[in-house]
Amino acid sequence: MSVLDTCDVSTQDQPSLLQPLSLRGLKLKNRMTVSPMCQHSAVDGAVQDWHIVHYGKFALGGAGLVLTESTAVRSDSRVGVADLGIWSDDHVPGLKRLSDFAHANNTAFGLQLAHAGRKAFSEPLWEGGRALSIEALDASGLQWRRVGPSAIAASGEWSEPEMLTQSEIEEIREDFVAAAKRADQADVDVIELHFGHGYLLASFLSPLSNQRTDTYGGSLENRMRFAVETAQAVREVWPDDKPLFARLSCLDGAEGSWGMEDTVALALALKAVGVDVIDCSSGGLTEETRRSNVPRGIGFQVPFAEEVRRRAGIMTQAVGIILTPEQANEIVASGKADLVALGRELLRTPYWPAEATRVLSGPEDFSSWPLQHREWLDRRHKVLSRLSESE
Protein backbone atom coordinates (compact mmCIF):
# COMPACT_ATOMS: atom_id res chain seq x y z
CA MET A 1 0.00 0.00 0.00
CA SER A 2 1.44 3.41 -0.89
CA VAL A 3 1.44 6.31 1.53
CA LEU A 4 -1.25 7.97 -0.54
CA ASP A 5 -3.61 4.96 -0.29
CA THR A 6 -3.69 5.40 3.46
CA CYS A 7 -5.31 8.80 3.02
CA ASP A 8 -7.70 7.86 0.23
CA VAL A 9 -10.79 9.82 1.08
CA SER A 10 -13.08 8.91 -1.79
CA THR A 11 -14.98 6.12 -0.05
CA GLN A 12 -15.98 7.87 3.12
CA ASP A 13 -19.21 9.77 3.80
CA GLN A 14 -17.93 13.07 5.14
CA PRO A 15 -16.83 15.81 2.71
CA SER A 16 -13.14 15.23 2.01
CA LEU A 17 -12.00 18.55 3.53
CA LEU A 18 -13.53 17.56 6.85
CA GLN A 19 -12.10 14.09 7.08
CA PRO A 20 -9.38 13.45 9.67
CA LEU A 21 -5.87 12.74 8.50
CA SER A 22 -3.38 10.53 10.29
CA LEU A 23 0.22 11.64 9.96
CA ARG A 24 2.45 9.26 11.87
CA GLY A 25 1.11 9.45 15.47
CA LEU A 26 -0.78 12.71 14.91
CA LYS A 27 -4.42 12.75 13.94
CA LEU A 28 -5.54 16.02 12.37
CA LYS A 29 -9.28 16.59 12.83
CA ASN A 30 -9.65 17.95 9.28
CA ARG A 31 -7.59 19.00 6.24
CA MET A 32 -7.51 22.76 6.88
CA THR A 33 -4.20 24.40 7.82
CA VAL A 34 -3.34 27.95 8.81
CA SER A 35 -0.48 28.88 6.46
CA PRO A 36 2.70 30.41 7.93
CA MET A 37 2.42 34.19 8.17
CA CYS A 38 5.13 36.50 9.57
CA GLN A 39 3.75 38.81 12.23
CA HIS A 40 6.86 40.94 12.92
CA SER A 41 5.70 41.27 16.50
CA ALA A 42 8.17 39.26 18.58
CA VAL A 43 10.74 40.77 20.94
CA ASP A 44 14.14 39.07 20.69
CA GLY A 45 12.32 36.13 19.11
CA ALA A 46 9.98 35.68 22.08
CA VAL A 47 6.23 35.15 21.95
CA GLN A 48 4.20 38.23 22.98
CA ASP A 49 0.53 38.80 23.82
CA TRP A 50 -0.03 39.43 20.11
CA HIS A 51 0.94 35.85 19.27
CA ILE A 52 -1.22 34.39 22.00
CA VAL A 53 -4.28 36.12 20.57
CA HIS A 54 -3.29 35.79 16.90
CA TYR A 55 -2.56 32.03 16.96
CA GLY A 56 -5.17 31.49 19.65
CA LYS A 57 -7.97 32.79 17.47
CA PHE A 58 -7.00 30.31 14.75
CA ALA A 59 -6.99 27.51 17.33
CA LEU A 60 -10.59 28.52 18.11
CA GLY A 61 -11.46 28.91 14.44
CA GLY A 62 -11.72 25.23 13.54
CA ALA A 63 -8.52 24.55 11.56
CA GLY A 64 -6.96 21.12 11.99
CA LEU A 65 -3.42 22.52 12.06
CA VAL A 66 -2.07 25.95 12.94
CA LEU A 67 1.41 26.60 11.53
CA THR A 68 3.43 29.51 12.87
CA GLU A 69 5.18 32.15 10.87
CA SER A 70 8.79 31.46 9.88
CA THR A 71 10.58 31.03 13.19
CA ALA A 72 14.27 31.79 13.15
CA VAL A 73 16.77 29.07 14.04
CA ARG A 74 19.50 31.72 14.48
CA SER A 75 19.26 35.24 15.79
CA ASP A 76 21.54 36.64 13.08
CA SER A 77 19.46 35.32 10.18
CA ARG A 78 15.83 36.29 10.70
CA VAL A 79 13.44 37.30 7.94
CA GLY A 80 12.63 40.43 9.95
CA VAL A 81 13.92 41.89 13.19
CA ALA A 82 10.74 40.88 15.07
CA ASP A 83 10.40 37.28 13.84
CA LEU A 84 9.55 34.57 16.29
CA GLY A 85 12.70 32.70 17.24
CA ILE A 86 13.76 29.33 18.56
CA TRP A 87 17.50 29.89 18.84
CA SER A 88 17.38 29.90 22.65
CA ASP A 89 15.89 27.74 25.40
CA ASP A 90 14.28 30.97 26.63
CA HIS A 91 11.87 30.76 23.67
CA VAL A 92 10.42 27.41 24.72
CA PRO A 93 7.92 28.55 27.40
CA GLY A 94 6.24 31.09 25.09
CA LEU A 95 5.93 28.57 22.27
CA LYS A 96 4.58 26.02 24.73
CA ARG A 97 1.84 28.46 25.72
CA LEU A 98 0.80 28.55 22.05
CA SER A 99 0.84 24.78 21.65
CA ASP A 100 -0.95 24.22 24.98
CA PHE A 101 -3.75 26.58 23.96
CA ALA A 102 -4.09 24.89 20.56
CA HIS A 103 -4.21 21.45 22.17
CA ALA A 104 -6.79 22.57 24.73
CA ASN A 105 -8.94 23.47 21.73
CA ASN A 106 -8.41 20.24 19.80
CA THR A 107 -6.07 21.81 17.25
CA ALA A 108 -2.60 20.64 16.24
CA PHE A 109 0.21 23.16 16.41
CA GLY A 110 3.20 23.35 14.06
CA LEU A 111 6.28 25.50 13.82
CA GLN A 112 7.88 26.67 10.58
CA LEU A 113 11.67 26.69 11.00
CA ALA A 114 13.62 29.13 8.88
CA HIS A 115 16.98 30.65 8.13
CA ALA A 116 16.60 33.72 5.92
CA GLY A 117 20.02 33.44 4.24
CA ARG A 118 20.75 36.18 1.73
CA LYS A 119 17.29 37.69 2.32
CA ALA A 120 17.79 38.19 6.07
CA PHE A 121 16.33 41.30 7.69
CA SER A 122 13.70 43.11 5.71
CA GLU A 123 11.14 45.62 6.93
CA PRO A 124 7.60 44.52 7.73
CA LEU A 125 5.31 45.06 4.75
CA TRP A 126 3.55 47.87 6.63
CA GLU A 127 6.85 49.79 6.57
CA GLY A 128 7.47 49.02 2.90
CA GLY A 129 8.88 45.47 3.01
CA ARG A 130 12.30 46.55 1.71
CA ALA A 131 15.66 45.04 2.61
CA LEU A 132 17.16 46.82 5.62
CA SER A 133 20.30 48.70 4.65
CA ILE A 134 23.70 47.75 6.04
CA GLU A 135 23.79 51.15 7.78
CA ALA A 136 20.43 50.55 9.47
CA LEU A 137 21.45 47.05 10.55
CA ASP A 138 24.81 48.21 11.92
CA ALA A 139 23.09 51.01 13.81
CA SER A 140 20.48 48.60 15.25
CA GLY A 141 22.96 46.82 17.47
CA LEU A 142 21.64 43.48 16.26
CA GLN A 143 23.91 40.62 15.33
CA TRP A 144 23.17 40.12 11.65
CA ARG A 145 24.58 38.30 8.64
CA ARG A 146 23.44 37.78 5.10
CA VAL A 147 24.83 34.48 3.86
CA GLY A 148 24.31 32.24 0.88
CA PRO A 149 25.78 29.49 -1.23
CA SER A 150 27.63 32.12 -3.32
CA ALA A 151 28.31 35.83 -3.07
CA ILE A 152 25.32 36.74 -5.25
CA ALA A 153 22.73 39.22 -3.99
CA ALA A 154 19.03 38.33 -4.24
CA SER A 155 18.41 41.53 -6.22
CA GLY A 156 19.53 45.17 -6.35
CA GLU A 157 18.07 46.09 -2.97
CA TRP A 158 19.92 43.32 -1.08
CA SER A 159 23.55 43.51 -0.02
CA GLU A 160 25.90 40.83 -1.28
CA PRO A 161 25.80 37.76 0.99
CA GLU A 162 28.87 36.07 2.42
CA MET A 163 29.53 32.66 0.88
CA LEU A 164 29.14 29.98 3.54
CA THR A 165 32.04 27.64 4.25
CA GLN A 166 31.34 23.92 4.62
CA SER A 167 31.79 24.10 8.38
CA GLU A 168 29.28 26.98 8.55
CA ILE A 169 26.83 24.86 6.53
CA GLU A 170 27.22 22.10 9.13
CA GLU A 171 26.74 24.61 11.94
CA ILE A 172 23.46 25.86 10.45
CA ARG A 173 22.26 22.29 9.98
CA GLU A 174 22.90 21.80 13.71
CA ASP A 175 20.95 25.01 14.43
CA PHE A 176 17.93 23.36 12.78
CA VAL A 177 18.53 20.24 14.88
CA ALA A 178 18.72 22.27 18.11
CA ALA A 179 15.54 24.11 17.09
CA ALA A 180 13.74 20.80 16.51
CA LYS A 181 14.71 19.58 19.99
CA ARG A 182 13.36 22.79 21.50
CA ALA A 183 10.17 22.47 19.45
CA ASP A 184 9.64 19.04 20.97
CA GLN A 185 10.13 20.50 24.46
CA ALA A 186 7.44 23.06 23.57
CA ASP A 187 5.04 20.20 22.67
CA VAL A 188 4.91 21.23 19.03
CA ASP A 189 3.21 18.59 16.87
CA VAL A 190 4.59 19.41 13.41
CA ILE A 191 7.79 20.95 12.11
CA GLU A 192 7.72 22.58 8.71
CA LEU A 193 11.18 23.23 7.25
CA HIS A 194 11.13 26.42 5.21
CA PHE A 195 12.95 25.44 2.03
CA GLY A 196 11.12 27.95 -0.19
CA HIS A 197 10.79 31.62 -1.09
CA GLY A 198 14.49 32.18 -1.77
CA TYR A 199 15.62 31.88 1.85
CA LEU A 200 18.81 30.04 2.75
CA LEU A 201 17.96 26.46 1.86
CA ALA A 202 16.09 27.52 -1.30
CA SER A 203 19.04 29.62 -2.41
CA PHE A 204 21.17 26.46 -2.42
CA LEU A 205 18.72 24.76 -4.81
CA SER A 206 18.77 27.13 -7.76
CA PRO A 207 21.80 27.40 -10.05
CA LEU A 208 21.07 31.13 -10.30
CA SER A 209 22.00 31.66 -6.65
CA ASN A 210 24.29 28.65 -6.14
CA GLN A 211 27.47 28.67 -8.18
CA ARG A 212 29.59 26.65 -5.78
CA THR A 213 32.09 24.15 -7.04
CA ASP A 214 32.19 21.95 -3.93
CA THR A 215 29.80 19.14 -2.94
CA TYR A 216 27.03 21.69 -2.24
CA GLY A 217 26.97 23.13 -5.77
CA GLY A 218 26.94 22.10 -9.40
CA SER A 219 24.77 19.03 -10.04
CA LEU A 220 21.15 18.87 -8.89
CA GLU A 221 22.13 16.29 -6.30
CA ASN A 222 24.78 18.61 -4.91
CA ARG A 223 22.47 21.63 -4.84
CA MET A 224 19.84 19.57 -2.98
CA ARG A 225 22.40 18.24 -0.48
CA PHE A 226 22.00 20.96 2.19
CA ALA A 227 18.20 20.63 2.21
CA VAL A 228 18.24 16.83 2.28
CA GLU A 229 20.94 16.68 4.97
CA THR A 230 19.05 19.20 7.08
CA ALA A 231 15.79 17.26 6.77
CA GLN A 232 17.57 14.03 7.61
CA ALA A 233 19.32 15.53 10.64
CA VAL A 234 16.06 17.03 11.93
CA ARG A 235 14.22 13.76 11.34
CA GLU A 236 16.80 11.94 13.47
CA VAL A 237 15.96 14.03 16.54
CA TRP A 238 12.30 14.79 15.82
CA PRO A 239 10.17 12.06 17.46
CA ASP A 240 9.16 9.24 15.15
CA ASP A 241 5.48 9.78 15.82
CA LYS A 242 5.57 13.47 14.84
CA PRO A 243 5.25 14.56 11.20
CA LEU A 244 7.77 16.63 9.30
CA PHE A 245 6.72 18.99 6.50
CA ALA A 246 8.88 20.90 4.00
CA ARG A 247 7.74 24.02 2.19
CA LEU A 248 9.18 24.28 -1.31
CA SER A 249 8.99 26.88 -4.02
CA CYS A 250 8.00 24.38 -6.69
CA LEU A 251 8.74 26.88 -9.45
CA ASP A 252 10.90 29.94 -9.43
CA GLY A 253 9.87 30.61 -12.97
CA ALA A 254 13.11 32.18 -14.18
CA GLU A 255 14.93 30.83 -17.18
CA GLY A 256 17.54 28.31 -16.03
CA SER A 257 16.33 28.32 -12.43
CA TRP A 258 14.43 25.76 -10.36
CA GLY A 259 11.48 23.97 -11.95
CA MET A 260 8.97 21.18 -11.52
CA GLU A 261 11.34 18.35 -12.52
CA ASP A 262 13.74 19.50 -9.82
CA THR A 263 10.93 19.78 -7.29
CA VAL A 264 9.80 16.21 -7.92
CA ALA A 265 13.40 14.98 -7.52
CA LEU A 266 13.73 16.91 -4.25
CA ALA A 267 10.37 15.66 -2.97
CA LEU A 268 11.50 12.07 -3.60
CA ALA A 269 14.80 12.70 -1.80
CA LEU A 270 13.04 14.35 1.15
CA LYS A 271 10.53 11.51 1.33
CA ALA A 272 13.43 9.05 1.50
CA VAL A 273 14.78 10.77 4.62
CA GLY A 274 11.40 10.89 6.36
CA VAL A 275 9.63 14.08 5.27
CA ASP A 276 5.89 13.41 5.30
CA VAL A 277 4.27 16.38 3.53
CA ILE A 278 5.44 18.82 0.86
CA ASP A 279 3.84 22.25 1.23
CA CYS A 280 3.73 23.48 -2.36
CA SER A 281 4.42 27.19 -2.77
CA SER A 282 6.41 29.07 -5.42
CA GLY A 283 8.71 32.00 -6.18
CA GLY A 284 10.82 34.22 -3.97
CA LEU A 285 14.34 33.68 -5.27
CA THR A 286 14.31 37.17 -6.73
CA GLU A 287 11.61 39.80 -7.06
CA GLU A 288 11.44 39.27 -10.83
CA THR A 289 10.81 35.52 -10.59
CA ARG A 290 8.07 36.02 -8.05
CA ARG A 291 6.10 38.70 -9.84
CA SER A 292 6.30 37.88 -13.53
CA ASN A 293 6.80 34.17 -13.93
CA VAL A 294 4.33 32.57 -11.57
CA PRO A 295 1.11 34.39 -12.49
CA ARG A 296 -1.41 34.81 -9.70
CA GLY A 297 -4.91 33.38 -10.00
CA ILE A 298 -7.46 31.45 -7.97
CA GLY A 299 -5.75 28.29 -6.69
CA PHE A 300 -2.70 29.07 -8.84
CA GLN A 301 -0.34 26.74 -6.97
CA VAL A 302 -2.73 23.77 -6.68
CA PRO A 303 -1.35 22.17 -9.88
CA PHE A 304 2.09 22.05 -8.20
CA ALA A 305 0.65 20.15 -5.22
CA GLU A 306 -1.16 17.78 -7.57
CA GLU A 307 1.95 17.05 -9.63
CA VAL A 308 4.24 16.51 -6.65
CA ARG A 309 1.67 14.22 -5.02
CA ARG A 310 1.18 12.16 -8.17
CA ARG A 311 4.79 11.92 -9.29
CA ALA A 312 6.63 11.69 -5.98
CA GLY A 313 3.97 9.68 -4.13
CA ILE A 314 4.11 11.96 -1.11
CA MET A 315 1.35 13.85 0.67
CA THR A 316 1.05 17.50 -0.27
CA GLN A 317 -0.41 20.71 1.09
CA ALA A 318 -1.90 23.13 -1.45
CA VAL A 319 -1.81 26.89 -0.84
CA GLY A 320 -2.45 30.15 -2.67
CA ILE A 321 -5.70 32.06 -3.22
CA ILE A 322 -7.96 29.32 -1.95
CA LEU A 323 -11.15 31.13 -1.08
CA THR A 324 -14.26 28.98 -0.73
CA PRO A 325 -15.11 25.78 1.14
CA GLU A 326 -16.23 24.19 -2.13
CA GLN A 327 -12.90 25.00 -3.81
CA ALA A 328 -10.93 23.65 -0.84
CA ASN A 329 -13.07 20.52 -0.66
CA GLU A 330 -12.62 19.82 -4.37
CA ILE A 331 -8.83 20.04 -4.02
CA VAL A 332 -8.83 17.24 -1.45
CA ALA A 333 -11.69 15.22 -2.97
CA SER A 334 -10.04 15.08 -6.38
CA GLY A 335 -6.72 13.96 -4.91
CA LYS A 336 -4.80 17.12 -5.78
CA ALA A 337 -3.60 17.56 -2.20
CA ASP A 338 -4.06 16.06 1.23
CA LEU A 339 -4.18 19.36 3.09
CA VAL A 340 -5.29 22.85 2.11
CA ALA A 341 -3.55 25.85 3.69
CA LEU A 342 -5.04 29.33 3.81
CA GLY A 343 -3.27 32.57 4.59
CA ARG A 344 -4.91 35.91 3.87
CA GLU A 345 -8.43 34.52 3.79
CA LEU A 346 -7.91 33.52 7.43
CA LEU A 347 -6.65 37.00 8.31
CA ARG A 348 -10.02 38.20 7.06
CA THR A 349 -12.06 35.42 8.60
CA PRO A 350 -10.31 33.43 11.33
CA TYR A 351 -13.41 31.23 11.78
CA TRP A 352 -13.30 30.24 8.09
CA PRO A 353 -12.63 26.54 8.90
CA ALA A 354 -15.57 26.35 11.30
CA GLU A 355 -17.77 28.09 8.75
CA ALA A 356 -16.50 25.75 5.99
CA THR A 357 -17.44 22.81 8.18
CA ARG A 358 -20.94 24.21 8.59
CA VAL A 359 -21.33 24.96 4.89
CA LEU A 360 -20.15 21.52 3.81
CA SER A 361 -21.84 19.40 6.45
CA GLY A 362 -25.15 21.21 6.90
CA PRO A 363 -26.31 24.70 7.84
CA GLU A 364 -27.22 23.70 11.39
CA ASP A 365 -23.91 22.18 12.34
CA PHE A 366 -22.12 24.52 14.74
CA SER A 367 -20.10 21.71 16.31
CA SER A 368 -16.80 23.17 15.05
CA TRP A 369 -17.22 26.34 17.08
CA PRO A 370 -15.79 26.51 20.60
CA LEU A 371 -18.01 25.07 23.29
CA GLN A 372 -18.45 28.54 24.73
CA HIS A 373 -20.02 29.80 21.48
CA ARG A 374 -21.77 26.97 19.75
CA GLU A 375 -25.05 26.80 21.69
CA TRP A 376 -25.60 30.53 21.21
CA LEU A 377 -24.98 30.35 17.51
CA ASP A 378 -27.27 27.35 17.24
CA ARG A 379 -30.09 29.14 19.09
CA ARG A 380 -29.68 32.27 16.99
CA HIS A 381 -29.72 30.18 13.81
CA LYS A 382 -33.03 28.61 14.88
CA VAL A 383 -34.55 32.02 15.61
CA LEU A 384 -33.39 33.38 12.26
CA SER A 385 -34.76 30.31 10.45
CA ARG A 386 -38.17 30.72 12.14
CA LEU A 387 -38.19 34.40 11.23
CA SER A 388 -37.41 33.73 7.60
CA GLU A 389 -40.14 31.02 7.45
CA SER A 390 -42.75 33.40 8.85
CA GLU A 391 -41.91 36.17 6.36
Ligand X SMILES: Cc1cc2nc3c(=O)[nH]c(=O)nc-3n(C[C@H](O)[C@H](O)[C@H](O)COP(=O)(O)O)c2cc1C
The interface with ligand X within residues 152-211 (CB under 6 A) comprises 194, 197
Does residue 77 touch ligand X according to CB under 6 A?
no
The distance of closest approach from Cβ of residue 280 to ligand X in the complex, given in angstroms and rounded to an integer, is 10
Residue 199 among the catalytic residues: yes
The interface with ligand X within residues 97-116 (CB under 6 A) comprises 112
Determine which residue in the list 122, 281, 289, 317 makes contact with ligand X, applying CB under 6 A: 281
Does residue 36 touch ligand X according to CB under 6 A?
yes
Does residue 69 touch ligand X according to CB under 6 A?
yes
The interface with ligand X within residues 233-252 (CB under 6 A) comprises 247
Determine which residue in the list 26, 37, 178, 377 makes contact with ligand X, applying CB under 6 A: 37
Does residue 318 touch ligand X according to CB under 6 A?
no
Does residue 344 touch ligand X according to CB under 6 A?
yes
The distance of closest approach from Cβ of residue 315 to ligand X in the complex, given in angstroms and rounded to an integer, is 17
| Count of residues engaged in binding ligand X, rule: CB under 6 A | 19
The distance of closest approach from Cβ of residue 40 to ligand X in the complex, given in angstroms and rounded to an integer, is 9
Between CA 81 and CA 51 the distance in angstroms is 16
In this chain, which stretch among 24-32, 49-57, 101-109, 341-349 interacts with ligand X, using CB under 6 A? 341-349
Among 56, 62, 88, which residue's Cα sits nearest to residue 75?
Answer: 88
Determine which residue in the list 81, 201, 319, 328 makes contact with ligand X, applying CB under 6 A: 319
Catalytic residue (choose from 55, 199, 216, 351): 199
The distance of closest approach from Cβ of residue 306 to ligand X in the complex, given in angstroms and rounded to an integer, is 17
Does residue 38 touch ligand X according to CB under 6 A?
yes
Determine which residue in the list 342, 354, 356, 360 makes contact with ligand X, applying CB under 6 A: 342
| Cβ proximity to ligand X, 136 vs 321, nearer residue | 321
In this chain, which stretch among 32-40, 87-95, 222-230, 355-363 interacts with ligand X, using CB under 6 A? 32-40
Give the chain's radius of gyration (CA, Å): 21
Does residue 35 touch ligand X according to CB under 6 A?
yes
Task: Give the residues lining the site for ligand X (CB under 6 A).
Answer: 35-38, 69-70, 112, 194, 197, 247, 281, 319-322, 342-345
Active-site positions read 199
